[in-house]
Amino acid sequence: MNALPAPATGIPAGSLNPTVSDRTSRATRILQAAKQIMPFLERGRPIGASDLRPIMTHAFDGSDAEGCWVWKDAYEACEAAQVLFLRKFGPVILGRSQTPAGALAMLA
């Protein structure tokens, strides 16, 4: 079993069951990070750990080493950034492509 101490889970010590406001705050912070990741996607740039760590540290007001966030949160922020990207550019991509395969090729 890989039990982690409470700080390493990103949940404050003594609060193993996060409240609704804790989850809302976490979601808000992930969305904030996603918005900072968007420019990478808009420019077609790869996103690495060296890019994500400062973005996540800023969004969560602390580092992963301090237990403020975990890499799963960074993964979720990247997924949210992809959704934001598709909401912004999806209609244009679909409008310019002749087929669904063409739309996928534009995203590659």
**What are 22-75's pLDDT values in tens digits?**
777 999 999 999 999 999 999 999 999 999 999 999 999 999 999 999 999 999
- Residue 108: the pLDDT is 80
User: What is the per-residue burial (b if ≥16 Cβ within 10 Å, else e) of 41-68?
Assistant: beeeeeeeeeebbebbbebbeeebeebb
- Share the mean pLDDT of the chain: 86
Structure tokens at 26: 């976490």
Q: Tell me the one-letter amino acid at 52.
A: L
| The pLDDT of residue 82 is above 60 | yes
- Residue 14: the pLDDT is 47
- Residue 3: the pLDDT is 53
